[in-house]
Structure 1
Amino acid sequence: LFHRHLNWLTVILCAGLVGIFNEGNQLILDMIINIQRTVDITDVLTNAAGVVIGYLAFYCLVRPWLKNTSFA
């Protein structure tokens, strides 16, 4: 994140994997300890959208600030 711009396909793929990971864990926990939660594809999509929006916010707001400091 700090040294180069990521490919958008990579960002979207990682975002989808985060959503699938979250919902997969929810499904496993529901089967093991019955947490009374349901798995929904819209949750996967909103989790993925949140990751993409977070990356976009970082890229547009934080990264230009970091270029002016000694971190980047």
Structure 2
Amino acid sequence: MPLRDIALTVEERATNQFFWVLIEAADSDSPDAIHYRPLHCASAPQSSYSSALVLGVAALRRLVDAQAARSSEGED
């Protein structure tokens, strides 16, 4: 299974309302830029950037673990 180009960012959508967002690289005709599309995002805001970042890392780990589990099931 090919690797996915996934990044984590944090958005402050309103004052002290921080949401983690997982984004995935999308195909693009531009060799000079990488375009991303939203993949998953927090359903509730956090009151700090760091809290949103920690929860986003946890969401990314869950995504990677689920993908690894599916890959290993296909090897049996």
TM range (shorter): 0.3 to 0.5
Greater helix proportion: 1
Please, what TM-score do these two structures have when normalized by structure 1? 0.44
Please, what TM-score do these two structures have when normalized by structure 2? 0.42
Q: Which has the larger radius of gyration?
A: 1
